[in-house]
Amino acid sequence: MKNLLGSSIKELENVALDYGQAAFRGRQIYKWIYNYKNKNKNIDQIEVLPLDFRKKLKDDGFKAGELRIKERNLSNDGTFKLLLSTEDNESIECVGIPTEKRLTACLSSQVGCPMDCKFCATGKEGLKRSLKASEILDQILFIENEMNRKVTNIVFMGMGEPLLNIDDLLLSIRSINEDFQISQRKITVSTVAVPKMISKLSAKSFQMLGNCQFTLAISLHASNQQTREKIIPSAKHYEIKNIIKDCKKFVSDTGRRVSFEYLMLNGVNDKLEHAYELSNLLKGFQCHVNLIQYNQIDEVEFKRTSSKNLQLFQSRLINNGIAVSLRKSRGLDKNAACGQLRQNAK
């Protein structure tokens, strides 16, 4: 099977030329693939192409997308969550998060996840496999098709650990930037942090993309190593002080500030001493903290912190000179937690 999704104009022009067609036929395929209003997925439905060309492409196994919708969930706040089925009958999730001026697509990079974060539903069944770039990009098209508007921002915060799928991650970012016309500065790559992979990400970005302009977000969720290991078992392989060291190098190499995601868990990491500790850990370099309200799931013991604790924590960070914002949870009434829709379907 040859998936055309993720192909550049030049690559599709070459496909057309290989079949004895004029180069402009490749440009017609390009416009058809990346048109968010086009809900057709079959090559033989590209009516602007000659019938015999369409038939040859289809007979030779060409496709434009291979995912299928398994389940749709629309929350009261407009958040739209999709459960998609892959060709090998696995399931992945993606989410469209709308506001008046933007539509953010939250994308998965793997089927399942090997990191086993204790607050997350995705890792309960482990990692099945990584997604191909075409499967990552298809999620954007499904969100655009279903919500009937263009995606403006991308966050790799869905299922999986993006840094364990770097090549396809960067191939998809190349296409998101050039084919979907979304600036790298509107793309966020979220990672639990894997040893040696932050430096590899920046190096490969320059190699494959020519630059590194997207935002790196570290799922830190703790102010010290002991607490982090309780929340994220894989953290025992990557000391928190070394994560910060590698993040400082990333800032130096790319000129882009790093974001730190901090999930507020009641009685675990939400005390004022944790805020003070986090301030000392992060002071002195270009970064930003996102405090996140926890989406509770039945399978784990963690509870969301109170609004009072959240505000006190935020104030302490601000008073200590740390740039911080509060990210409100969306889709709370419709299986909002990452991996929850997939797990419920199973």
Burial 98-108 (b: 16+ CB within 10 A, else e): beeeebbbbbb
123 within 8 A of 113, measured Cβ to Cβ: yes
| Given the residues 94, 113, 117, 338, the one annotated as active site | 338
Q: Is 93 a catalytic residue?
A: yes
The distance of Cα 141 from the centroid of its chain, to the nearest Å, equals: 14
Closest by alpha carbon to 66, among 12, 145, 112, 133? 133
Q: How many CB atoms lie within 10 A of CB 145?
A: 18
| Given the residues 13, 66, 93, 135, the one annotated as active site | 93
CA distance 342 to 31: 32
Q: Is 338 a catalytic residue?
A: yes
Pure H helices in 35-184: 51-59, 133-147, 166-178
Residues 6+ apart with CB under 8 A from 288: 257, 258, 259, 260, 323, 324, 325
Long-range contacts of 30-33 (CB under 8 A, 24+ apart): 30/179, 32/64, 33/4, 33/5, 33/7, 33/64
CA distance 284 to 298: 39
Size of the chain, expressed as the number of residues it contains: 346
CA dihedral 194, 196, 200, 202 (to 10 degrees): 80
Q: What are the tokens at 87?
A: 């060709």
The catalytic site residues sit at 93, 338
